[in-house]
Amino acid sequence: MNEMQNLLLRARKYLGSAELLLDAGDYESSVSRSYYAMFFMMQAALLHKGISTSTHKGAISGFGEQFVKNGIFPRSISRSISAAFEKRQLGDYESMLVIEPDEAESVLADARNVVEAVADWLMQNGALPKV
């Protein structure tokens, strides 16, 4: 199994965790897992292009430059990733509970979209086996 396959498996696992956390009412943790599912897929896409980043902002920026700016993915995906990153930052580092249930649901839906869109692109480009 290659690194991109591992990142996809991890992203899908985190989507499942995000759903469980959402159902349990832990909205901040759900958003965090949803964001990380997106992050893993950004890493997989960048890895396919031979690009490695060491920071979240580097991954977001690199993904935007390589995939959104070039029209491979729509700007809406970039906006979803950036919004999830900001909400994760708030949820992880604010002392108060700051994420509402509808926000966590929206981030999870966006994460599912990002994971599947990037996985489909990687499959179409031979980086992942077609399933």
CATH of the domain at 52: 1.20.120.330
* pLDDT at site 101: 97
Greater pLDDT, 6 or 131: 6
Residue 23: pLDDT band (50, 70, 90) is: very high
Determine the average pLDDT of the residues in 6-33: 97
- What is the number of domains present in the chain? 1
For residue 67, tell me if it sits in a domain. Answer: yes
For residue 38, tell me if it sits in a domain. Answer: yes
Residue-wise pLDDT tens digits, 66-75: 999 999 999 9
For residue 129, tell me if it sits in a domain. Answer: no
Q: Give the C-alpha separation, 40 to 22, whole Å.
A: 20
Residue 79: pLDDT over 90: yes
Query: How high is the mean pLDDT of the chain?
Result: 95
Residue 130: pLDDT over 80: no
* pLDDT at site 51: 95
For residue 14, tell me if it sits in a domain. Answer: yes
* pLDDT at site 98: 87
For residue 131, tell me if it sits in a domain. Answer: no
* pLDDT at site 131: 63
* pLDDT at site 97: 80
Determine the average pLDDT of the residues in 39-51: 96
* pLDDT at site 39: 98
- Domain hosting 83: range is 3-124
